[in-house]
Amino acid sequence: MRVSTYEIILPLIGSDEQPIEGKRLLVNGLYGSVDVVDESTATRLLGNNLDELPVPARERLAARGHITRKTPQEEQDDVSLLGNVYDRTLARSETTLAILPTYDCNFRCPYCFESHRLARGQEWLSRRMRPEMVEATFGGLQKMQDEGYRINACMLYGGEPLMEGNEDVVRNICAHAHQMGLKITAVTNGYDLEGYLDLLEEFEFSRLQVTVDGVGEQNDCRRRHRDGVPTYDRIMSNVRLALDRGVNVQLRVNVNRDNINGIPDLIADLTARGLTDSKYEGSDTEERRGSFSYYFKAVSEDPSSPTRVTEQEVMDAIVATGIPPIEALDLQSQYSMAMGNLEEMATKERYPICHNTYCGAESGALVVDPEGKVHACWDLVGMDVDSVGYVDEESKRFAYGFAKARWRLRTSTRMEACMVCPYVFLCRGGCASDARRESGSLFHEHCGEFPEIFAYVAPRVMGRRWEKDGNDELSVSLYGPLSRMTPEERNELMTTTSGKRAVELLRQTELVRTKEYPESQ
Asked if the structure places residue 395 within a domain, the reply is: yes
User: 281 falls in which pLDDT band (50, 70, 90)?
Assistant: very low
Query: pLDDT at position 91, please?
Result: 59
Query: pLDDT at position 513, please?
Result: 62
Query: pLDDT at position 112, please?
Result: 82
What's the first-to-final CA gap in the chain, in angstroms? 41
Report the pLDDT averaged over residues 456-472: 96
Query: pLDDT at position 288, please?
Result: 57
**Helix, strand, coil distribution of the chain in percent, nearest 5:** 45, 15, 40
CB atoms within 10 A of CB 145: 16
Asked if the structure places residue 168 within a domain, the reply is: yes
Q: Is the pTM of this model over 0.95?
A: no
User: How many domains does one find in the chain?
Assistant: 1
Query: pLDDT at position 521, please?
Result: 42
- Tell me the C-alpha distance between 238 and 215, whole Å: 15
Q: Looking at the predicted structure, is the pLDDT value of residue 36 above 70?
A: yes
- Tell me the C-alpha distance between 292 and 272, whole Å: 14
Minimum mean pLDDT among 178-182, 230-234, 415-419, 489-493: which range?
Answer: 489-493
Query: pLDDT at position 113, please?
Result: 73
Contacts of 107 (CB under 8 A, 6+ apart): 160, 189, 191, 223, 224, 225, 226, 231
User: 516 falls in which pLDDT band (50, 70, 90)?
Assistant: low
- Tell me the C-alpha distance between 47 and 308, whole Å: 38
Asked if the structure places residue 104 within a domain, the reply is: yes
- Tell me the C-alpha distance between 383 and 489, whole Å: 44
User: 303 falls in which pLDDT band (50, 70, 90)?
Assistant: confident
Q: Looking at the predicted structure, is the pLDDT value of residue 118 above 50?
A: yes
Q: Looking at the predicted structure, is the pLDDT value of residue 302 above 60?
A: yes
Query: pLDDT at position 123, please?
Result: 83
Average pLDDT, the chain: 91
**Half-sphere exposure at residue 503, Cβ-oriented, CA atoms within 13 angstroms:** 16
DSSP 94: B
Q: Check: CB of residue 192 under 8 Å from CB of residue 234.
A: no
Minimum mean pLDDT among 141-150, 276-285, 451-460, 501-510: which range?
Answer: 276-285
Please write the tens of the pLDDT for every residue from 128-154: 999 999 999 999 999 998 888 888 899
Q: Looking at the predicted structure, is the pLDDT value of residue 430 above 60?
A: yes
Report the pLDDT averaged over residues 451-467: 97
Structural domain range at position 227: 95-405
- Tell me the C-alpha distance between 497 and 489, whole Å: 14
CATH number of the domain to which 360 belongs: 3.20.20.70
Please write the tens of the pLDDT for every residue from 230-275: 999 999 999 999 999 999 999 999 999 999 999 999 999 999 999 9
Q: Check: CB of residue 377 under 8 Å from CB of residue 365.
A: yes
Would the CA dihedral through 77, 81, 82, 87 be positive or negative? positive
Q: Looking at the predicted structure, is the pLDDT value of residue 398 above 90?
A: yes
Asked if the structure places residue 493 within a domain, the reply is: no
Asked if the structure places residue 442 within a domain, the reply is: no
Contacts of 331 (CB under 8 A, 6+ apart): 294, 295, 296, 318, 323
Asked if the structure places residue 251 within a domain, the reply is: yes
Please write the tens of the pLDDT for every residue from 332-361: 999 999 999 999 989 888 777 778 899 888
- Residue scoring higher pLDDT (92 or 274): 274
Asked if the structure places residue 496 within a domain, the reply is: no
Identify which of 27, 82, 250 has the alpha carbon closest to the alpha carbon of residue 155. Answer: 250
Torsion angle (degrees, nearest 10) of CA 518, 31, 459, 475: 60
**Half-sphere exposure at residue 377, Cβ-oriented, CA atoms within 13 angstroms:** 24
Query: pLDDT at position 132, please?
Result: 98
User: 280 falls in which pLDDT band (50, 70, 90)?
Assistant: very low
Report the pLDDT averaged over residues 163-190: 97
List the 248-255 sheet strands across, edge first: 292-298, 248-255, 207-211, 183-188, 153-156, 97-99, 366-368, 373-375, 387-392, 397-400
Asked if the structure places residue 410 within a domain, the reply is: no
